[in-house]
Amino acid sequence: MEHGTRQDLLGRLVEEIRAATTPHPLRVAVDGSPGAGKTTLADELGIALRAQGRDVIRATIDDFLVPRAQRYRRGRFSAEGCYFDAHDHEALRQVLLDPLGPGGDRRFQLTVYDHETDSPLSPPITAAAEDAVLLFDGVFLLRPELIDRWDLRIFVSVDFEQTIDRALSRSMASAGSADAAEIERSWRHRYIPSQQLYFATARPTDHADIVVYNDQLHEPTWDIRPPHRPERPGTGMN
């Protein structure tokens, strides 16, 4: 286990990314619960890597949602709906992860869905450099449908109660934000139970190459596991 400043963490993560060599773009998962800080960490990593001249592709699971009616077909506060119904993993594999992976042509799309208009998107296809780094943040990234699509797996861990506090603080800071009681209900009935389901079924921290303990944003702790660990039985693709 290591600990240090935020810059220390970013420096170590950059080192790990530089050491992870592949014959295709490096696909990095930045997983974690809502409010854990995974999007911020991925953005910070992108800045650090670009400063060193690395070609960075930034993408997020929020651009691979399914239409609202399907996401909430079990109810707005359903944890099972959040885990099973929210994201289009097949499209994510087809248009982004597989093209950037072994045998892929490196021609990819960053999104298939616009959550503001609740409508599908078909952006232009982009070609990636062979040594590019995909930094992909989101929830449930180390589940069986996706586990073998990543070349480096980062999990951002935070106490669930703290994620509620962060969500409420973020809401208060934004104009026209939702009611605090509604936000807390979403976390306690949908988001946190869906993460508990994820931990029980997929055991994401067991399969992460790096776990970042992000409770203290400016003084994080992290655990970097030995590279090229063999998959445990039953954790590959179904």
* Residue 207 to residue 148: CA distance in whole angstroms: 10
- Confidence check: pLDDT of 230 > 50: no
- Would the pLDDT of 177 be above 70? no
pLDDT given at position 178: 59
Question: pLDDT at position 170, please?
Answer: 79
| Of 45, 70, 68, the residue nearest 56 (C-alpha) | 45
By three-state DSSP, how is residue 76 classified? coil
Q: State the pLDDT at residue 173.
A: 64
Ranges of each domain in the chain: 2-211
Q: Which residues does 61 contact at the CB level (< 8 Å), separation at least 6?
A: 87, 92, 136, 137, 138, 139, 140, 141
Predicted pLDDT of residue 226:
80
Q: How many C-beta neighbours within 10 Å does residue 229 have? A: 11
The pTM for the full model equals 0.91
Going by the DSSP 8-state scheme, the letter that residue 163 receives in this structure is H
Tell which wins on pLDDT, 201 or 233. Answer: 201
Q: Which two tokens stand for residue 137?
A: 């943040």
Q: How confident is the model at residue 6 (pLDDT cuts 50, 70, 90)?
A: very high
Q: How far apart are the first and last CA of the chain?
A: 32
On the question of pLDDT at 217 being above 60, the answer is yes
What is the pLDDT, as a whole number, of residue 30? 98
Looking at the chain, the whole-number percentage of residues with pLDDT higher than 90 is: 86
Assigned CATH for 2-211:
3.40.50.300
Residue 222 pLDDT level (bands cut at 50, 70, 90): very high
In the chain, at which residue ranges do the beta strands (DSSP E only) sit? 2-3, 26-32, 56-60, 107-108, 113-114, 119-120, 126-127, 133-138, 152-157, 210-213, 221-224
Residue % of the chain over a pLDDT of 70: 92
Residue 223 pLDDT level (bands cut at 50, 70, 90) = very high
Q: What is the pLDDT of residues 52-85, one digit of tens each?
A: 999 999 999 999 999 999 999 999 999 999 999 9
